[in-house]
Structure 1
Amino acid sequence: MTDPEFMDRAETLLKAVEQCCDRINDDSDADVDNQRVGGMITLTFANRSQIIINLQKPLHEVWMAAKSGGYHYRWVDGQWQDTKGQGEFFAALTSNASAQSGLALVFTA
């Protein structure tokens, strides 16, 4: 993958995360604050716990830091897949955000 291809796919991922936060806040009682600075988004939940998503441009990876640990994702077969075989990015974000917020939250591409 070239650098421009990575940036296009990564930007699409970050925009999807932001749109999901807006949808969650509009359609539920959840309060998910999302703050973006460049290639990094910080999600802050009502209980003050956070999930941080950031781009690792030289590695062509997206990293996610959550209470459960740190995860690295690469574009494989049309999805952002965990580099250690732990699944797809949005499924992991859904699981971690739901666990940290105590609410059933759904994030999709």
Structure 2
Amino acid sequence: MTDLEYLEHAETLLRQVEQACDRINEESDADIDNQRVGGMVTLIFPDRSQIVINLQKPLHEVWMASRFGGYHYRFDGTHWRDTKDQSEFFDRLSRDASAQAGRSLDFSPR
């Protein structure tokens, strides 16, 4: 994958996270704040815990850190997959965000 292809896919991922957060806030009272600075999105939950998602351009990866661990994702042509267990990015984000929020949250792109 070229640098330009990586950036296109990674930027799409960050936009999808932001859009999912906005949708969740519109459809519920989850009250998750999302802040974007360059290649990093921070989700801030009512209890002040955070999930941080950032681009690792030299490695062509997206990293996510939550209360439950740190994860590295690479694009497989269709999905962003964890470099260790091959789990899908939005599945893990939904699972960790749900645990941090204390309620079921679905970050899957629509």
Q: TM-score range by the shorter chain?
A: over 0.9
2:73 counterpart of 1:67: no
CA distance in 1, matches of 2:18, 2:7: 16
Identify the residue that residue 15 of structure 1 maps to in structure 2.
Answer: 15
Give unpaired runs (5+ residues) of structure 2. none
Shift of 1:29: 1.0
Deviations 1:55-86 (A, max 9, x none): 00000000000000100000114100000014
Q: Which residue of 2 aligns with 1:50?
A: 50
Cα distance in 2 for partners of 1:77, 1:43 equals 26
Structure 1: 5+ residue stretches without partners: none
TM-score norm. by structure 2 comes to 0.97
The yes-or-no answer on 1:108 pairing with 2:108 is: yes
Aligned to 2:90: 90
Which digits, 9 at most, give the CA deviation of each residue in 1:3-41, with x for residues without a partner? Answer: 000000000000000000100000001011000000000
Identity among equivalent pairs (%) = 65
Write the distance in 1 (CA, Å) between the matches of 2:68 and 2:105.
16
User: Which of structure 1's runs of 4+ aligned residues deviate more than 6 A?
Assistant: none
The one-letter amino acid of 1:4's match is L
- Distance of 2:59 and 2:77 partners within structure 1: 17
SS in 2 for 1:99: helix
Q: Partners in 2 of 1:51 and 1:24 — Cα distance? A: 15
- Which residue in 1 is equivalent to 2:25? 25
What's the Cα RMSD here? 0.7
